[in-house]
Homo-oligomer: A and B are copies of this chain.
Amino acid sequence: MKIAIAGAGAMGSRFGVKLQQAGNAVTLIDNWADHVRAIQTNGLVVTKDGHDTVIPMTAALPQDVHDTFDLIILFTKAMQMDHMLQELKAQLGNQPAVLVLANGIGNVETIERYVPKQNIVAGTTVWSSSLTGPGHITVTGSGSISLQAIVPDQFGDLDHIVETLNGAGLKASPAPDVLAAIWKKAGLNSVLNTYCTLFDCNIAEFGALPNWRELTAGVLDEFQAVATAANVAFDAQADTDLIAAQFAPDKNGEHYPSMHQDMANRRPTEIDFLNGYVAQLGQKLAVPAPNNALLTQLIHSQEALHGIA
């Protein structure tokens, strides 16, 4: 397939490499000029188990892309999603399939403003990757993808997309309820990302707090109430169990979540598409979500104190 990765940071680059190595024609699209230039000049450097591999790849700024694609995979951060889609208007003209695997709730609403519903596939992934510098990613472990068409009975050929992803070893499988999967992952992130950022601690340190269950329930009970009002399946208890499973040092305990990395590196966080999304949807549906609203404010305050506009 001819595939564009829009938002070719840590995760997008890792997916791009695997899809290219499986024989697809891949273009990495990103707005970080230094990153794009480094890939164009030197290829993408992938560090795995201490070894560097240099992989020649096609990379471009959005405005320099003149090709069209069969599939566009969106890995843009939630708050840059709208801008990226505007820049890709020409590429969206030929009605490619659009797959969104980026974190956060609300991405599908954004995409629907630019892409017909029947062309959208949404999903979640537990693959991970770090952007070590311009043109350089560091990868560990493996992962999987759950995905579903937004309007399942109108989507062209989902099997073909699943086969393409699996041909690249990305372990994709159809999800029966992808919206529930997105909320489940967002619930986990709205606890671990948010509190670890607020407290400047890693996941194991959060898990060692005497009141981690109260803090978690404060977020997830509201998630469940808002999800129920929005007709999305959400189980606060199951999400709490999933969170508890991350604490072990041999799982993700030593890990600082991505929002913590964003704050430390003075980048805007995704808070408005995690706790902030649920707080706003709660307000719209008259389901109070005061904890998520306050946590959103607190992270925005921290952004301001870190000089993040």
Contact = CB atoms under 8 A, between A and B. Distances in A.
Contacts of A298: 198, 215, 298
B294 A294 contact: yes
Contact of A291 (B294, B300, B301): B294
A201 B291 contact: no
Interface stretch (A16-24, A117-125, A203-211): A203-211
Contact of A198 (B198, B208, B210): B198
Task: Find the residue from A198, A205, A295, A298 having the highest chain B CB count within 10 A.
Answer: A298
A90 interface: no
B301 A209 contact: yes
Nearest to A195: B301
Given A294-B294, A298-B298, 13 more contacts: A198-B198, A198-B298, A199-B301, A209-B305, A210-B304, A211-B301, A211-B304, A212-B301, A214-B297, A215-B297, A215-B301, A218-B297, A291-B294
A253 interface: no
Interface string A273-300: 0000000000000001011001101101
Shortest Cβ-Cβ A-B pairs, 10 listed: A290-B290, A209-B301, A291-B294, A209-B304, A211-B297, A214-B297, A210-B304, A218-B294, A294-B294, A215-B297
A295 B305 CA distance: 18
A41 interface: no
A82 to B, nearest CB: 22
A305 B214 contact: no
Question: Copy number of this protein in the oligomer?
Answer: 2
Nearest to A298: B198
Contacts of A211: 297, 300-301, 304
Contacts of A294: 218, 290-291, 294-295
A302 interface: yes
Contacts of A218: 294, 297
Interface string A185-222: 00000000001001101000100111110110010000
Task: Find the residue from A288, A298, A300, A301 having the highest chain B CB count within 10 A.
Answer: A301
Contacts of A291: 290, 294
A214 B305 CA distance: 16
A245 to B, nearest CB: 20
Contacts of A301: 195, 199, 209, 211-212, 215
A201 B304 CA distance: 12
18 contacts: A195-B301, A198-B198, A199-B305, A201-B305, A205-B305, A209-B304, A209-B305, A210-B300, A211-B300, A212-B301, A214-B297, A215-B297, A215-B298, A215-B301, A218-B294, A290-B294, A294-B294, A298-B298
